[in-house]
Structure 1
Amino acid sequence: MQKVDLNALDPAMESDADKLHRVARLGIGLVPVAGCPLLELFGSVLETPLNKRKTETMIQIGEIINQLIDDGVVTEKGLQENEVFVSTVAEACAISLRNHQEEKLEALRNAVRNSALPRCPADDYRQLFLNFVDVCTVTHIRLLHLFHDPELWCKNQNLTLPNWGMGGLSSVAEFALPELKGQDELYRSIWKDLYQRGLVNTGSMGGTMSRVGMLASRTTQIGAQLINFLSKQ
């Protein structure tokens, strides 16, 4: 069965970002005297990285398509006729050009893969989840994954949980994600955002509770769906 030729991938279409880049280059070129140095600087700083991101995204999506075909999950014709998959690829490509953090890019790749499967969420959920990746921070994603199942998350990270008797959700967050230590104002604000989006069922990370409460799942049904869509199944 024919698969994507990864060696032949080359961005043939000019994206909106490239159009903006081309217009900006033209404008800089019109600036007297300093125009040429500015033009060279603009090109060296932005042109190559943007093209690199676009090419890398296309290759990664090509690899996903080839893997799905190899596994017998889909066919080339089936993917071509799968409007949900095509829309997800288009949206994921656009979002990836605006982001550089690997965890967000990995979430987008997983979303593309899962959109080709029968269990793909309905359109409203799918678009909501992709928008979440676009506008959220990496800490949003980490906290959501952590508090979906704290014990399992720590086990997967080879972390041995302390023998807590009592404590709060903030203690779990700072233990599992040590980069958050001393950043309580930041992660509490992010947690509040997750709550307002309906992704977690607890409005505050404050308060004292038992060890069982500390390690209980805090994701809502839609929060769990989001995690599944952004995770490799």
Structure 2
Amino acid sequence: MDKKEFHRQKGEVERSEAKHKALKLKSSLFPGGSTVYDAFTALVQPLYEKRKDEWLYLLMYDLVRREKEGVISLEALSKNDEFVTIVTKAIILAQQNHQKEKLEALRNIVLNSTEWLSKGEPIFDWGHKFLMIVDQISPLHILLLKTFQNPAKAIQEKKARFEERTGFNNADVFFKLHPELKSRSALAKQCWRELYNFGFVGTDKFFEMKDAEDMKYMHTHDQFVPQTTDFGNKFLNMIEYSK
């Protein structure tokens, strides 16, 4: 056996041994062994790619439409480092999420960033920050924020009625509009506190408001007070779809 053939066979043996070790590792980690591992990866990987493809299709549909309307230039955007970073991060986050509200928010941040970037106006810091926040929050956070940006409008749309009394806190209003979520009151309270920590709402109180400083956030049966800050409104504008 010449030296060349020896090294070829040695390489095949080493590759075979490496494959065997990998299979043994699969078998030890997964009940059912490599068959279960292969079946699982065969299921998850296409779903992961499918999620990305569906999200990208909807994004590209709107980007192409906007280019035809003369609002943006895809060629210019493709050479814009800020846009490439924003869309790359959004794609990664979209693959990691399944909730419709978050997927729409991610897509809309990209779409709304394009018009600013096309004009050479600074939006990267906003876009990047809001992408990271969308990854951290849930649809419940978004529902709370949208409700209290204009609670009077939300009440009108729901045709909700409030009795005459001194005042209502945010929880009173929210669960009147969404009684099906009342069993999740502890979670809603935590989500509200997180929105406050983001700087999206003006008070950290979701239930009782007793301090004089909090009284300006109280609602009455004929006056429902917006709770969102300018920063919160900016976030909502960025995650809203604009035609």
Is the structural similarity TM-score above 0.5? yes
CA contact 1:82–1:116 (8 Å) conserved in 2? no
Structure 1 equivalent of residue 214 of structure 2: none
Give the helix-richer structure, 1 or 2. Answer: 2
Question: Aligned partner of 2:88: which letter?
Answer: A
Structure 1 equivalent of residue 82 of structure 2: 84
Q: 1:52 aligns with which of 50, 53, 56?
A: 50
Structure 2: gaps (5+ residues) = 1-20, 210-217
Q: Secondary structure at the match of 1:183?
A: helix
Structure 1 210/143 Cα, relative in aligned 2: closer, same or farther at 3 Å? Answer: closer
Structure 1 112/154 Cα, relative in aligned 2: closer, same or farther at 3 Å? Answer: farther
Displacement of 1:72 = 1.6
Deviations, residues 52-95 of structure 1 (Å, cap 9, x unaligned):
11211221221121121122211222222333322221111010
Displacement of 1:169 = 0.9
Q: Secondary structure at the match of 2:149?
A: coil
Does structure 1 residue 220 correspond to structure 2 residue 229? yes
User: What TM-score do the two structures reach when normalised by structure 1?
Assistant: 0.78
C-alpha distance in 2 between matches for 1:221 and 1:126? 16
Query: Bigger radius of gyration, 1 or 2?
Result: 2
C-alpha distance in 2 between matches for 1:172 and 1:69? 42
Structure 2 equivalent of residue 70 of structure 1: 68
Displacement of 1:32 = 5.5
Deviations, residues 118-176 of structure 1 (Å, cap 9, x unaligned):
28763332222111100111111111111111122345xx3113134332210111122
Identity of aligned residues (%): 28
Question: Between Structure 1 and Structure 2, how many residues are aligned?
Answer: 206
Structure 2 equivalent of residue 205 of structure 1: 206
Aligned CA-pair RMSD: 2.5
Q: How does 1:16-165 map to 2 (within 5 A)?
A: 27=22, 31=26, 34-118=32-116, 122-155=123-156, 158-165=157-164
Question: Aligned partner of 1:184: which letter?
Answer: S
